[in-house]
Amino acid sequence: MSTTVPASGRVLVVEDDRQLSAMLAELLGDAGYGVDVAGDGQRGLHLGLTRTYDVLLLDRGLPAIDGLDVLGRLRAQGVTTPALVLSALSNPVDRVEGLDAGAEDYLGKPFDVDELLARLRALRRRAGAVVGGTEQVRFGGGAFDVAARRVRFDDGRAPVDLSDREAALVELLARHPHQVFGRDAVRDRVFPEATDDGVVDTYVHYLRRKLGRRAVTTVRGVGYRWGEP
């Protein structure tokens, strides 16, 4: 079975070795990913908490805050983005520590670039639960079929079809169910041409009308996060 998923999406690379991070940025960029690079754990933590990524690529040995600590702090804040840890420490004990810290995968240095890319694709497949070419984002009580722009419910409710923009909003929120998005962050991602944040409130209103009041949760003074439709 062919399991190729087009490489798209954003990757956060946290790596203090400049030569390696430049190589990774070029490699991932060539593979079709959008890439942000952080040169230390502090910066990586900041980006991981304030921006949305599809995959995290974390070096373990970083000055100040090491890679596993960055990951632990992101997980503690509800960031569920799949993470691959890169490390020169690659004994079984080291791998177990990495996986216990919340990494989905662990790759020893030096690594083969094709293997790295394949592992990133695998992480994205698992995260998106790609089934037979149809990507589904699972959530408590149902799933969102990305290509068909259709929300299905496990309780037998009729599926709901969404417009392009409604679908983009559901995809953003449902993929990161524990993350709160400010209205400006939602606007940047889903309505980049809009001139004010009111469009975000309007579309949240549409989604609630179609999917139920609880589909989107308002976090007062901060923004919105996914609910349980």
Name the 3-class secondary structure at 151: strand
105 forms part of the interface with Ca ion (CB under 5 A): no
Name every residue whose Cβ is closer than 8 Å to that of residue 198 and which is 6 or more positions away in sequence.
Answer: none
104 forms part of the interface with Ca ion (CB under 5 A): no
Task: With contacts defined by CB under 5 A, name the span among 4-12, 14-22, 44-52, 104-112 that binds Ca ion.
Answer: 14-22
In whole angstroms, give the CA distance from residue 23 to residue 134. 32
How many residues bind Ca ion (CB under 5 A)? The answer is 3
Residue 106 CB neighbour total at 10 angstroms = 22
Residue nearest to Ca ion (CB): 61
59 forms part of the interface with Ca ion (CB under 5 A): yes
Q: Which is nearer to Ca ion, 14 or 173 (CB)?
A: 14
Applying the rule CB under 5 A, the residues between 68 and 87 that interact with Ca ion are: none
Q: How far is the CB of 227 from Ca ion (least distance, A)?
A: 39
16 forms part of the interface with Ca ion (CB under 5 A): yes
Binding map of Ca ion across residues 153-192, x = CB under 5 A, - = no contact = ----------------------------------------
Q: Which is nearer to Ca ion, 85 or 151 (CB)?
A: 85
54 forms part of the interface with Ca ion (CB under 5 A): no
61 forms part of the interface with Ca ion (CB under 5 A): yes
SS (H, E, C) 96-138: HHHHHCCCCEEEECCCCHHHHHHHHHHHHHHHHCEECCEEEEE
* Side-by-side strand order, sheet with 83-87: 34-38, 10-14, 55-59, 83-87, 105-108
Degrees, nearest 5: CA angle 32-111-90: 130
39 forms part of the interface with Ca ion (CB under 5 A): no
In whole angstroms, give the CA distance from residue 103 to residue 186. 27
Contact set with Ca ion (CB under 5 A): 16, 59, 61
